[in-house]
Structure 1
């Protein structure tokens, strides 16, 4: 009577196939997750800046955006009391370098940025230059 079962080599081949498939399956979503995290942040940052610009044009209350690169967050606060309207987190692994951009970032009643400038955002894989031009034009991104 023969004993049923697998040989050691058969078991090792099956286990190595499982390990390879698992390794390939987990590295692909991490890359997609980082790309989606970057897209989500820039989309949210864009909408917050549009809110800031529109509130400057429509309201007598002056709001400003304060970027804290060391604290990995930015906040929008009211002008006189500095009460926080909203606070957003920046991913911990990112580095933000304020080049010519001065804080706080604000707009006048006509929707023009008060102090134009640039900043560099270093993500895990890429670098982006964020430009806030003089005039009514909105900010834009350049991948470096």
Structure 2
């Protein structure tokens, strides 16, 4: 407590209502600017992670074919939004859904990936995956199925 012009006053620390409104309005403007940018970034990162998982699944079925002396394949369902990896004996490894906005293109010349028990690809070619950022082409080379990604 202190005296000011003869009056006994208390010192009060804190913010006024106007100061709080100003801070909240600045924060809301910043949030409105950042949210669309971060949402687009999250979608792009999700698609990149899904694409990497897709490539890993291809490498897995090739390794499984060689290790277990059995043919393996990857095929697409639900208009290309899901892929299934399995052996020729119908043993299914996994069913994986692509994230929203990502799918096997209707224009893709290659719709199925298959490996001989030796690990060689049965059919080679180009597979096209649609993403929200455009098309990704994966070219599979003869024999071991090396992938070139455009």
TM-score after normalising by structure 1: 0.77
User: Unpaired segments of 5 or more residues in structure 1?
Assistant: none
Return the offset for 1:114: 0.7
1:1-144 to 2 correspondence within 5 Å?
A: 6=18, 16-68=25-77, 70=79, 72-80=81-89, 82-97=90-105, 99-103=108-112, 105-142=113-150
Over the aligned positions, Cα root-mean-square deviation in angstroms equals 2.5
User: In the alignment, is the contact (CA less than 8 A) between 1:102 and 1:117 conserved in 2?
Assistant: no
Q: Which residue of 1 aligns with 2:6?
A: none
Q: Which has the higher strand share?
A: 2
TM-score after normalising by structure 2: 0.74
User: Unpaired segments of 5 or more residues in structure 2?
Assistant: 1-15
Return the offset for 1:39: 1.7
- State the alpha-carbon separation in 2 of the partners of residues 61 and 109 from structure 1: 5
User: Which deviations, in whole Å up to 9, do the C-alpha atoms of 1:4-62 show, x marking residues without a partner?
Assistant: 864xxxx5x66653332011221222122122112211211121111111111121232
Helix, strand or coil at the partner of 1:121: strand
